[in-house]
Amino acid sequence: METTQISDIKIIKSPTSKIDSVDFETLTFGKQFTDHMLVCDFIDGEWHQPIIMPYAPFEMDPSSRVFHYGQAIFEGMKAYRDAQDEIWLFRPDQNYERFNKSAIRLAMPEVPEHIFMDGLKELIKIDANWIKKGNGNALYIRPFMIGTSDGVIASPSLNFKFCIILSPVKSYYSGEVKVVIADHFSRAANGGIGAAKAAGNYAAQFYPTKLANQKGFQQVIWTDDTTHTKLEESGTMNVFFRINDTLITAPVSERILDGVTRKSLLAIAERDGIKTEVRSITVNEIVDAHRNGSLKEIFGAGTAAVVSLIAGFQYKDEYFELPQVADRFATQLKEKLNAIQYNEAEDTFNWTVKL
């Protein structure tokens, strides 16, 4: 293996690549990983040297705190290759800031910017061949951190492992999904960790989503934990509602994640003259809007799928099919966001970062 040093990052390159064994036309989201990963340990109160090394399993003590008390956070980002073969990141500063907010909320150390950003950029450069051209093709970036102290005493970990792994992806969802509006289960509660990208948030969603799947629905639209009347997120995504020609989404809070795609779509909509409202929206409001014909669209927004179209929703025992509108805001906004991400349109917001 070749070992080099760039700044304070140690680089150990894999002697071979598995890229030729990957069919990039039939990728399953998040199943294939590139040749290298970044690893950095926090031990004895300080961050140690980050290392880029061949992608491989690592050993952990069975009593590591992450297994018993769930100290685990992550982020989701993407890198894109444009038609000129240049590689771009999209708003990485937002993911970095949110990662450290999650770390603080779960009593974990903040990751220094030079480890996160410099390590991320160097890792992508090394595995750049895994990023393919074409709309929908991207490199999914998964930074994460886990508690690694051993011992099953119920207390925060003192040691941590920060990693970044990379996965080549195509479009995450295809087609439209049908959803159930939750009237019992909640994604998050006031005072909880709903605003953090904590692993446990997603684990808690799996069971109610499984129940929805068994009834023929793909996702759940989550409601507030107190009254179950306020619509908050859809599956693992932020959610938008179009009533007449107004785009509405819930404000971020302790329960709702500050989604990078969410705020990017809002900014594009506002720039292009689409009326937006960031406010609480209730189940009764969208049911009434459906009945009077003013509910035009519902769609999810997130890094993986960008936009996920919703065909209809069930509340209690009644199903509401959404109309097929010709001028979908979801489609327009996705195309405009993708054009910025793939350097096909001017980035008037200064969101993109060239590698």
Residues 161 and 241 in one domain: no
Between the alpha carbon of residue 129 and those of residues 21, 86, 123, 270, the distances in Å are 13, 11, 12, 36
- CATH number of the domain within which 6 lies: 3.30.470.10
Question: What pLDDT, in 10s, does the model give residues 90-100?
Answer: 999 999 999 99
2 pLDDT more than 80: no
Question: What pLDDT, in 10s, does the model give residues 311-339?
Answer: 999 999 999 999 999 999 999 999 999 99
Residues 237 and 319 in one domain: yes
Distance of CA 239 to the CA centre of its chain: 13
Residues 85 and 150 in one domain: yes
The model's pTM: 0.95
Residues 155 and 206 in one domain: no
Q: Which residues pair with 240 in a beta bridge?
A: 249, 299
Number of folded domains that form the chain:
2
Residues 258 and 325 in one domain: yes
| Range 26-43 average pLDDT | 95
346 within some domain: no
Residues 203 and 334 in one domain: yes
227 pLDDT more than 70: yes
Choosing from 102, 135, 169, the residue where a domain stops is 169
| Range 260-287 average pLDDT | 97
Question: What pLDDT, in 10s, does the model give residues 109-145?
Answer: 999 999 999 999 999 999 999 999 988 899 999 999 9
345 pLDDT more than 90: yes
For residue 131, give every residue at least 6 positions away whose Cβ sits within 8 Å of its Cβ, in sequence order, or none. 79, 80, 81, 87, 124, 137, 138, 139, 168
Residues 156 and 25 in one domain: yes
Residues 164 and 191 in one domain: no
Residues 22 and 140 in one domain: yes
For residues 246 and 277, the answer to whether their CB atoms sit within 8 Å is: yes
Average pLDDT of the chain to the nearest whole number: 95
83 within some domain: yes
| Residue 3's pLDDT band (cuts 50, 70, 90) | low
298 within some domain: yes
Q: Reduced to 3 states, what is the DSSP secondary structure of residue 260?
A: helix
Residues 200 and 162 in one domain: no
350 within some domain: no
Choosing from 152, 169, 186, the residue where a domain stops is 169
**Domain range for 186:** 177-341
Residues of the chain with pLDDT > 70, as a percent, come to 97
Residues 160 and 186 in one domain: no
Query: Which pLDDT score, from 0 to 100, does residue 173 have?
Result: 63
329 within some domain: yes
Residues 250 and 156 in one domain: no
Q: Reduced to 3 states, what is the DSSP secondary structure of residue 312?
A: strand
| Range 297-318 average pLDDT | 94
171 pLDDT more than 90: no
Question: What pLDDT, in 10s, does the model give residues 231-247?
Answer: 999 999 999 999 999 99
d(CA 11, CA 2): 8
353 within some domain: no
Choosing from 169, 188, 219, the residue where a domain stops is 169
How far the first Cα of the chain sits from its last, in Å, is: 25
200 within some domain: yes
- CATH number of the domain within which 249 lies: 3.20.10.10
